[in-house]
Amino acid sequence: MVNPGATCNAARWLSIIGIGEDGVEGLSAPARRLIAQAALVVGGVRHLELASPLIAGERLAWPSPLHLAFDQIAARRGEPVVVLASGDPFNYGVGKQLMQRFAAAEMLCVPQPSAFSLAASRLGWSLQDIAQVTLHGRPLEGIIRHLAPGVRILALAWDGSTPAKLAALLTSRRMGRSRLTVLEAIGGPHERVRSATASAFDLSDINSLTTIALEVIAEPDAPVIPLTSGLADDLFEHDGQLTKRDVRAVTLSALAPQPGELLWDVGLGSGSVAIEWLLRHGTLRAIGIEARQDRADRAMRNALALGAPDLRIVLGRAPAVLADLEPPDAIFIGGGISEQGVFETAWAKLKPGGRLVANVISLEGEARVTDLFGRHGGDLIRIAVSRIEPVGRMHGWRQAMPVTQWRVTKP
């Protein structure tokens, strides 16, 4: 981002200009000049209409999918080109996609306040204290991970139906007393702000350009997703193919997720490890490999219920389906490490410095990881968990089957 007073030139030929619902009136003098001088102006139909009084050059409305316009933009390299976006182009806007195609040195960005900033200013909320999420073009369930008593959330709506759908989701999760404030067309002449509780939500005729402000109130028994690893086992639907809570917490610690990383969960089962990986940070990604359709479907239901809808599932048997997948930063093998070629293929695809963690309970599995430990190093640990259970009128310890875990980092 550079000084808005700068002008477009041969080096910085691509200007990205934020425009609000107040249209031309809300633009700075430099932004108006850039639009007026542009040979090509690109944007949504609404954006082009808002800026229409200034546009003298060619117009291009975004096609679907968006990237189909990028070749046309690139063909005008060296000419003054303007891309119009809502508010701040680099806050859930088109700026990210443009950066994947064009260099920052080619761009001049003139942002305006984002929808989040405008909503926060209307309500008197401090942005640093609230969760900011987008539901535009994304599953509604993505908000679940943020739902906790007392939390404030600002969410960009997909369309006018999103607030009612969110209210229904909250009510179903025993958070019906939560308050939703619907801020429509903020900053423009048709701005409107209305509120209702989730359980009594009755707002209608809602503008498609809406930001939702949510204040969460949860019943004592509401299913809140904690920030720790090792979610309760009963939060997962499963058929017995589940990495149990205590072992899962140790496994996540061994996988050591870092922002932006990709996990392969080979032998996905109920999806518990991949889901908890995704819940650690919003930039994390996970691919689950599962041979059985019923288990893949179950894992996806768990992912949606726990607020990790971005889980990608590949149906098929390892190692055959691994070859064409993006190289991962970490791999968890919860079953199948004894099968021919699974480890070798996974290890070959793992990025240098990546972590591999394998859990086994059988003697044959233990023999396999012991052999691999001898050849590749790493750490071998045994996890033994005992729980108190009734013994007649008294109580005693009952030990679960021990899990042998091999952890190794690829050189």
Boundary residue ending a domain (112, 132, 147): 112
Which phi and psi (to 5°) does residue 127 adopt?
-60, -35
| Alpha carbon 145 to its chain's center | 10
Boundary residue ending a domain (165, 181, 215): 215
297-313 tens-digit pLDDT: 999 999 999 999 999 99
pTM of the model: 0.90
Categorize the per-residue pLDDT at 25 as very low, low, confident or very high, splitting at 50, 70 and 90. very high
* Residue 214 pLDDT: 98
Same domain, 284 and 391: yes
Query: Which CATH number do you get for residue 29?
Result: 3.40.1010.10
Report the mean per-residue pLDDT for the chain: 95
Q: Is 325 helix (H, G, I), strand (E, B) or coil?
A: coil
Q: Please give the Cα distance from 208 to 156 (Å, whole number).
A: 10
Q: Please give the Cα distance from 235 to 223 (Å, whole number).
A: 8
Boundary residue ending a domain (58, 87, 112): 112
**Placement of tokens 């850039």 in the chain:** 34
Lookup: tokens for 146: 């943020």
357-403 tens-digit pLDDT: 999 999 999 999 999 999 999 999 999 999 999 999 999 999 989 99
Q: How far, CA to CA in Å, does 247 sit from each of 44, 237, 250, 401? A: 49, 17, 5, 11
Task: For residue 133, tell me if it sits in a domain.
Answer: yes
Q: Please give the Cα distance from 204 to 210 (Å, whole number).
A: 13
* Structural element, H or E, at residue 312: strand 312-315
Mean pLDDT computed over 219-228? 94
Same domain, 194 and 259: no
Task: For residue 396, tell me if it sits in a domain.
Answer: yes
Same domain, 240 and 188: no
Task: For residue 224, tell me if it sits in a domain.
Answer: no
Task: For residue 223, tell me if it sits in a domain.
Answer: no
* Residue 7 pLDDT: 54
Same domain, 63 and 148: no
Task: For residue 62, tell me if it sits in a domain.
Answer: yes
Same domain, 351 and 274: yes
Same domain, 151 and 201: yes
Radius of gyration of the chain (CA): 26
Q: Are 236 and 303 in contact (CB under 8 A)?
A: no
* Residue 86 pLDDT: 94
Q: Please give the Cα distance from 94 to 92 (Å, whole number).
A: 7
Q: Is 325 exposed, middle or buried (0-12, 13-18, 19+ CB in 10 A)?
A: middle
**Placement of tokens 């288990």 in the chain:** 295
Same domain, 21 and 120: no
- The pLDDT of residue 4 is above 70: no
Q: Please give the Cα distance from 270 to 293 (Å, whole number).
A: 12
**Placement of tokens 């690893």 in the chain:** 229
Q: ∠ at Cα 32 (30, 35), nearest 5°?
A: 110
Nearest CA-CA partner of 411 in 337, 355, 372: 355
* Residue 241 pLDDT: 86
Categorize the per-residue pLDDT at 10 as very low, low, confident or very high, splitting at 50, 70 and 90. low
* Residue 371 pLDDT: 96
Mean pLDDT computed over 107-133? 96
34-67 tens-digit pLDDT: 999 999 999 999 999 999 999 999 999 999 888 8
Task: For residue 3, tell me if it sits in a domain.
Answer: no
Mean pLDDT computed over 251-272? 97
Same domain, 315 and 276: yes
Task: For residue 323, tell me if it sits in a domain.
Answer: yes
Q: Please give the Cα distance from 79 to 57 (Å, whole number).
A: 11
Same domain, 238 and 358: yes
Same domain, 342 and 371: yes
- Our count of domains for the chain comes to 3
Task: For residue 9, tell me if it sits in a domain.
Answer: no
* Residue 11 pLDDT: 83
Same domain, 131 and 105: no
- The pLDDT of residue 159 is above 70: yes
Categorize the per-residue pLDDT at 328 as very low, low, confident or very high, splitting at 50, 70 and 90. very high
- Range(s) of the domain holding residue 180: 116-215
Same domain, 22 and 88: yes
* Residue 43 pLDDT: 96
Categorize the per-residue pLDDT at 9 as very low, low, confident or very high, splitting at 50, 70 and 90. low
* Residue 125 pLDDT: 98
Lookup: tokens for 60: 């291009």
Which phi and psi (to 5°) does residue 333 adopt?
-115, 105
Share of the chain above pLDDT 70, in %: 98
Q: Please give the Cα distance from 262 to 328 (Å, whole number).
A: 5
**30: cis peptide before it, omega within 30°?**
no
DSSP 65-118: SGGGGHHHHHTTTTS-EEEEEES-TTSSSTHHHHHTTS-GGGEEEE----HHHH
DSSP state of 388: E
* Residue 67 pLDDT: 86
Nearest CA-CA partner of 245 in 267, 223, 228, 220: 228
- Higher confidence at residue 5 or residue 260? 260
